[in-house]
Structure 1
Amino acid sequence: MHKALIFLLLLSITSCDYFHVKKTSSEVILQEELEAFKWNEVDVYPNFASCGSDENNAGKKECFENTLIASIYDAFASENIIVTQDIQDTILVRFEISELGKLSLLEAKIDSVTTLEIPNMENILHKSLEGLPEIYPAIKRGQQVKTQFTLPIRIQVD
């Protein structure tokens, strides 16, 4: 009986550690979540209504970029551009898509020679955005989010 009592006493003293609950503060949980969160990536890329919804994320991104580039090239093709020298340039166009799916041109980095030869370059870029199909915004964690991206556009005029 004496041994059983000592055994129960030792068991009760050491068993308290098993019931000890480690408390984690909400700040620690938030910090861990922020560190794991990838700020520069979205779960679903922005997409045009004309692109298929059954494609994977990379396919949606490619379809979106190709549709946008085709619209810009069509706008340039419809203009009668006359230049005094050949132009082979790549312009970097920065766009933003709002949470509501509104596309806007933020900035176009255009070489000075190209700007001299085609002074209405930004007007043509703005015009190319007018006839685009409906845009579905990017999604991050189930929420529609604002996104910005830069698209290189190759301009070649002979």
Structure 2
Amino acid sequence: MKFFIVSILVLMLSSCENFKVKKTSSEAILKEELQTFNWNDVDEYPSFENCESSISKAEKKVCFQHTLTNHITGFLMNERIVVSQDIYDTVLLQMQVSKRGMLKLIGAKIDSLTIQEIPELDSIIKNSLDSLPKIFPAIKRGQQVTTEFSLPLVISVE
């Protein structure tokens, strides 16, 4: 019986090492979390009010792009643009939506012929952004975040 009690005590004392808890600092947890964090993707893309009824993330993205493209295209169609030769170009707009929902044109890749024929094109595009409906910013982990994206815009003037 003594042997049994002594062996249980030895087992209990030696097994306590298996229950030691490894302490990790909050900095280590944060560092590990930041390494697994995908900085290039958001939980929800920026959107307009008319896109809020879309169910999936992909649908909201497509709705946002179509709404923005249609708005800029409609604005350009109302402008009186005179050219000496036909223009058919795809302009690549670099844009940013701030965490407050403000859209800004960062840059535009425009063909040299298009620039020669429509030198004020980038300012016309910037002016079209002033009359956009309210934009809801992108969401990442429950926080509103600033996002940047490229938007192709087809310019066709005859």
Letter matched to residue 143 of structure 2: Q
User: TM (normalized to structure 1)?
Assistant: 0.91
CA RMSD of aligned residues (A): 1.5
Structure 1 vs Structure 2: percent identity of aligned residues?
50
Classify the secondary structure of the residue corresponding to 2:92: strand
Pairing of 1:3-152 with structure 2 (within 5 A): 3-152=3-152
> How many Å apart are 1:54 and its aligned residue?
4.3
Q: Give the Cα–Cα distance (whole angstroms) in 2 for the partners of residues 14 and 5 of structure 1.
A: 14
Letter matched to residue 86 of structure 2: D
Q: Runs of 4+ in structure 1 displaced over 4 angstroms?
A: none
Unaligned runs of 5+ in 2: none
Q: Give the Cα–Cα distance (whole angstroms) in 2 for the partners of residues 5 and 131 of structure 1.
A: 84
Unaligned runs of 5+ in 1: none
Deviations along 1:58-84, one digit per CA (max 9) or x if unpaired, are 111111100100011111111222222
Question: More deviation in 43-52 or 62-71?
Answer: 43-52
Q: Are 1:89 and 1:114, in contact at CA under 8 Å, matched by a contact in 2?
A: yes
How many residues matched? 158
User: TM (normalized to structure 2)?
Assistant: 0.91
> How many Å apart are 1:56 and its aligned residue?
1.4
Question: More deviation in 82-91 or 40-49?
Answer: 82-91
